[in-house]
Structure 1
């Protein structure tokens, strides 16, 4: 299964109030494993970045002046090509999806139809009553926030952190190891495309003759073994 974990940075809280997208970051995950494929771009919002927003993500109006606009091929269309039909995963997904779809509308492109998973309600179901912010979840799972604390919010960095959180929330490592149906062995290997490994030769028996004789004597003392009842 292909999933895209993504995050955005913006000039404010509401595209309906004229706020715009200024950064997109995304990380590819396949069968619960981060592949190393990423997408990242800054976006010229054609408006000033309020000081309140700058304090959060440290992306200034001046920095964005020479960046491409959303409708240009390296931004909106490139993001659409990257995500394809993958399931999208975001923290507080309505916020990020709202801005992406607002920018698509302004660019004359259709809204996204991908399935979407929101990690906020996922975390709240798993840990009722506990804080569900990305910072809190990183702390819960022992995921380092050193770079985020040093550099502030960033769409690609937050996507990478969220991918680690998402793996912990969903048991992604186990899914990748055992396959989506929870089985191991050849089914998991077949699903990942890896060949099934066969043992070169049989292992030598580990039971000694004395242990075999002791076991046989013990069985002989049983009047009605449980498997005899089942077989009968």
Structure 2
């Protein structure tokens, strides 16, 4: 199963206020394992970067000035996203900006049924706890020491690790296979298991009845016992 974990950086909190997407980072997972394939892009928002937003992600207007517009990279992004589920933290925020940019570029929006929100998963699993990406990485022992400021690709990579932990973690390999083995593969596995099994040695049963000599010795021993308990039990009261 293919999934894309992604994160965005923007000029503000809402596209309805004229804010734009300036960075996106995507990480590909197949069966909850990172494949090494990523997509990362910076975009010129065609507007000034507010100081409060720059303080969060460190992307200045000067840095973004020579970057392409979103519409110039949208084809490559859409090809990478494909038709699979898209995972994000507080996903409604990222989906809102992504769909807004897709609309401005003349493309259809991404259906919200593809959205997987790790924030909702975390709230369900840990009610009352802190659910920021930093707090959840600390909870699950995910190293974020190299995260000084927000960055879309770095945050997507951290989120990919967190998503795996939230949905099974290191025990995910214990789940049943999604697809049955091919007959030839199953046969080879069975043959290997049989070959590895130690040979069964069948031994004849050992005699366990007392011999005549043992019975005689036992009777002689019992006859020497003084006032045995079973003798008292058999004496009439």
TM-score normalised to structure 1 length = 0.79
Q: Which residue is 2:90 aligned to?
A: 92
Counting matched residue pairs gives 200
Pairing 1:163–2:160 present: yes
* Cα distance in 1 between the residues matched to 2:129 and 2:84: 30
Task: Tell me how far 1:202 sits from its aligned partner.
Answer: 4.5
Q: Aligned Cα RMSD in Å?
A: 2.4
Q: Which residue is 2:54 aligned to?
A: 54
Q: Retained in 2: the 8 A contact 1:28–1:36?
A: yes
Q: Which residue is 1:183 aligned to?
A: 176
SS at match of 1:136: helix
* Cα distance in 2 between the residues matched to 1:158 and 1:206: 55
Q: Which residue is 2:30 aligned to?
A: 30
Q: 1:58 to 1:202 in 2, by over 3 A?
A: closer
Q: Which residue is 1:43 aligned to?
A: 43
* Cα distance in 2 between the residues matched to 1:54 and 1:208: 77
Alignment of 1:14-163 (within 5 A): 14-72=14-72, 75-113=73-111, 115-149=114-148, 152-163=149-160
* Cα distance in 2 between the residues matched to 1:35 and 1:201: 34
Task: Tell me how far 1:78 sits from its aligned partner.
Answer: 1.1
Unmatched 5+ stretches in structure 2: 207-237
Unmatched 5+ stretches in structure 1: 214-232
TM-score normalised to structure 2 length = 0.78
* Cα distance in 1 between the residues matched to 2:202 and 2:150: 63
Task: Tell me how far 1:69 sits from its aligned partner.
Answer: 0.3
